[in-house]
Structures are given as structure tokens and as C-alpha cells.
Amino acid sequence: MDRPVVPRPLWVLSALLAVTHLGMAWAYVDPRFVPRPLGPGQVSVVRYIEALGPFWIAGFGATAVGIALVLWRFPARLWIAHLLGLSVSAAYATAAWTGSLMSDPPSPIITAVLASSLAAVHGLAVWVAARVVR
């Protein structure tokens, strides 16, 4: 049986998303990127979740490795790797939005907007991969 072929634009998009998730995981591993202290009345759901365990490192790291592995070895399952990326990005976006909106005064929402956009791109990649890669 022939090995499925991932169209070049989807391959490049997938590789870029894998690198993005690798960067997100690295930001939680490298102590130089420790977030600034919260101000009075500020809430960070992202930090609460991170305090429970290395969820963001594991989630973003697993997505980066998963997409790279699937691109290299199992291209027909690319939609599954992007579904993982969508899940992790949506969870991060939800935590970022919740923390921003719970803060008094509200904190900047740029991280929430970027995470939401990342989740949306993964959603598009799931849709395209499920229909194009066979």
C-alpha cells in the first residue's frame, strides 16, 4: 500500500505548529522565562494549573513531538496530532482568558488571544488533514 502524502502547505504548517509548541514547552522549562510577579488583584489560572504539575510542559512538548513523529512516520494520522494540539492550545487559552477576566483590574489579554489563535489554526489543520491526507 502506498504511503499517504501530506501536501507541502499542510506539511509546512504542521512543522511550524510543532516548532511553536516546542517553544511554548521551552518557555516553561527555561528559568530565564519565569513570568513576572502578579500585581494586586491579578489572577493567573495558567500558573495555578502549572503549580499542580508540569501540565503545560507535557502538553506542549507532547504535541511538538507528536506532530513531528506523525509527519515523519504516520502521515495518515496527522489529524490526530493536530487534535492534541487543538486540545492543549484550547485549554491554555481557556486558562489565560479566565485569569485575565477574573483579575481586577483585568490583565492584558494578548496571551489569551494568541493561544486562541493557535487553537483555531490547529482546528483548521485537523479539518484539512482529515480530508486531504489519505
pLDDT tens for the 134 residues of the chain, in order: 577 889 999 999 999 999 999 999 999 898 788 777 888 888 899 989 988 999 999 999 999 999 999 999 999 999 999 999 999 999 999 999 999 999 887 788 999 999 999 999 999 999 999 999 87
What does the pLDDT read at residue 125?
A: 96
Contact between 38 and 44 (Cβ < 8 Å): yes
Neighbours of 47 (CB within 10 A): 13
Q: What pLDDT, on a 0 to 100 scale, did the predictor assign at position 128?
A: 95
User: What is the C-alpha to C-alpha distance for residues 131 and 13, in angstroms, rounded to an integer?
Assistant: 16
d(CA 117, CA 87): 13
* Whole-structure pTM value: 0.91
- 8-29 vs 55-73: helix crossing angle, rounded to 10: 150
